[in-house]
Structure 1
């Protein structure tokens, strides 16, 4: 299934800017696991562009599936009750952000009012 990311923003100590609209592929397994294949473009505050891809898994336990599908209930569920992790990879176009080529990151996703939010951290 293909979803269209509508955009967003990113905030960090070395990189901040906008997430441009793009595409998300998701494969839904019968066990409640969603496998992600996402490809997006980031625009830094200085206008520089970077390509970001990430795979990941979103595992929803059976007792939560109905509530997560309900717009009125989904935000009341503690994200610790489901598993939503990603592994972003960056490909910057500007020399300013070439440092992104040499890092490994892990992201943790959760549902928010306007869609999905991720906390992405560099693995040290």
Structure 2
């Protein structure tokens, strides 16, 4: 049996986004669909930094206790590049944390160890300085913050 090659992670950036009030479409045939649009946001890392284009966001689907992340956002770097970032993922809360989640004013106080929030961002850009993003796989570790969400995004090497 060949040796297993374990991937390593390299910090790509941390993103923080403030969210507009959610738009809840109610229970549909696939579950409960909710749009959480970005009102404003910033990202910063060793190789890129900038802002999140407002209005982009997450079309989350809730089925039972599983929240399925379906996000598409536009990143605008400080040097003017436009980068499309799309990601899926899962967000799961234990029963007690799920109750605390209902209070939007204090939900950011839920200890991140009480929930699972992981994503798989992919990037698209035509900007010469960031073409390397088109060729990487990444993972994101999410957490709730006051008024929104944050992600620590890592390149899988």
Q: TM-score range by the shorter chain?
A: over 0.9
Q: Helix, strand or coil for the counterpart of 1:67?
A: helix
Q: Helix, strand or coil for the counterpart of 2:108?
A: helix
Hey, what does 1:104 align to over in structure 2? 137
CA distance in 2, matches of 1:100, 1:72: 36
Hey, what does 1:66 align to over in structure 2? 99
Q: Which has the higher contact order (CA 8 A, sep 6+)?
A: 2
CA deviation after TM superposition for structure 1 residue 53, in Å? 0.3
Q: Which has the larger radius of gyration?
A: 2
Moved >6 Å (runs of 4+): none
Matched, 1:24 2:58: yes
Contact 2:106–2:146 under 8 Å retained in 1: no
Q: Helix, strand or coil for the counterpart of 1:93?
A: coil
TM-score, reference length from structure 2: 0.74
Identify, as 1 or 2, the structure richer in strand.
2
Q: Any stretches of 5+ residues in structure 2 without a counterpart?
A: 1-33
- The number of residue pairs the alignment matches comes to 123
TM-score, reference length from structure 1: 0.93
Hey, what does 1:89 align to over in structure 2? 122
Which of 33, 53, 75 is equivalent to 2:86? 53
Q: Aligned-residue CA RMSD in angstroms?
A: 1.2
CA distance in 1, matches of 2:90, 2:144: 14
Report Cα offsets for 1:1-53 as digits up to 9, x if no partner.
222122300000111001112131111011x1100111111000101101110
Identify, as 1 or 2, the structure richer in helix.
1
